[in-house]
Amino acid sequence: MASAIDLTNVNFDTTTFPALKNDLYLRTARGEETERAPVWCMRQAGRYLPEFRAIRVENEFFKVCRAPALATEVTLQPLRRYAGLLDAAIIFSDILVIPQAMGLEVQMVPGKGPHFPEPLRTPDDLARLVDQGAGFSVDTELDYVYKALTNTRHALDGQVPLLGFVGAPWTLMAYMIEGGGSKTLALAKTWLFAHRSAAHELLARVADVAAQFLIGQVRAGAQALQVFESWAGELSPHDFAEFSLPYLALIAARVKAVFPDVPMTVFAKGAHYALEQLATDTLYDVISLDWTIDPRAARARVDAALARRADVVPRSVVLQGNLDPTVLFGDEQAIRERTKEMCQAFGSSRHIANLGHGMMPAHDPERLRVFLEVVHQSSADLRLVI
């Protein structure tokens, strides 16, 4: 029960951490051959778990994010439930902590989702942001996330690697302007076409905060990072190339300049047209795919693009994904069949198994167990065939 959690029982020592026992995710993300595909799930800690809902009965969403002991507890819940089946943990937080740090109020409204009482409506509203003010510090504003990472890294006791994350600039800009979710993103897109200079200013400022934040997350204990460009697919290829890709590339370059060996993943949902550019024009080690692209085609396109640039950027890229999350509403047989098909489509190497997006509140937790078990077996079988 939530009331039994001791909020003072925390460990913020960053000088030493427990030795890692399961490094499968990290080895795969670095392009090494492995005995099977590692597996984890976006939103693996969340509302589909009854133990998470029990925490939320007594604690507002952002309180859970801001209390390191609570964030740690929620992060660990799926590791306990699916003991031995998950190969990574991802810190419980939210992409919207960056707009909060920059001075905007964000509320999490039950049944509705994120809500900004005073979003950015015109370029003049940029003056309300505090990130360029005297004394502003990313590390100070988001220290509670760092504390949650450090405490969770100790609590994991080396079971699996701990992932940190941020929302990407275009996605965060859209939330900051729309004031919440939107079917058309008309307000945010208006900035792209009517206030282009202001749009680039905001994107650059968000990218700067995001890069500093990710660097701080690694210092706090994160062992790998993911950047979520959740609304990439709302942009045309031309607009993605101008308003998303350069800032995704900037974030990776900034982080890699400080921590070159920390694996980084980019998830540009819906941006199939940009696979080649993400592979060759950025430094991400892993590209995460949603469920609407064939992994075989994605692998072929990425490898061909890298081969064309081998003299300039000799590197390989790992793919992550990509089961349709709604498959988990099916029966066990359907989940087993589709998961096995997914593993076969990705092949016997350079694959991190995941969903094509996050877990949903109505998912049955036991359906996720089926997915995890099949990934273990099917991906291992594929490697035995080779």
Is the four-CA dihedral 114, 115, 121, 127 of positive or negative sign?
negative
Token pair listed for 261: 């060996």
Distance, CA of 71 to CA of 104 (rounded, Å): 22
Active site residue 36: no
Q: Residues 30, 47, 254, 383: which is the catalytic one?
A: 47
> Residue 47 catalytic?
yes
Tell me whether residue 43 is one of the annotated catalytic residues: yes
315 is catalytic: no
Distance (Å, whole) CA 362 – CA 23: 31
367 Cβ contact partners less than 8 Å away, ≥ 6 residues apart: 328, 329, 330, 332, 335
Selected catalytic residue, list 25, 48, 146, 175: 175
Tokens describing residue 219: 């210092």
Catalytic residue, chosen from 36, 48, 82, 94, is 94
Per DSSP, the residues of 224-270 read EEEEEETTGGGS-HHHHHHHTHHHHHHHHHHHHHH-TTS-EEEEETT
Catalytic residue among 25, 36, 48, 56: 56
Contacts of 197 (CB under 8 A, 6+ apart): none
Which of 23, 25, 36, 43 is catalytic? The answer is 43
* CA gap 223, 237 in Å, rounded: 32
By annotation, the residues acting in catalysis are: 43, 47, 56, 94, 175
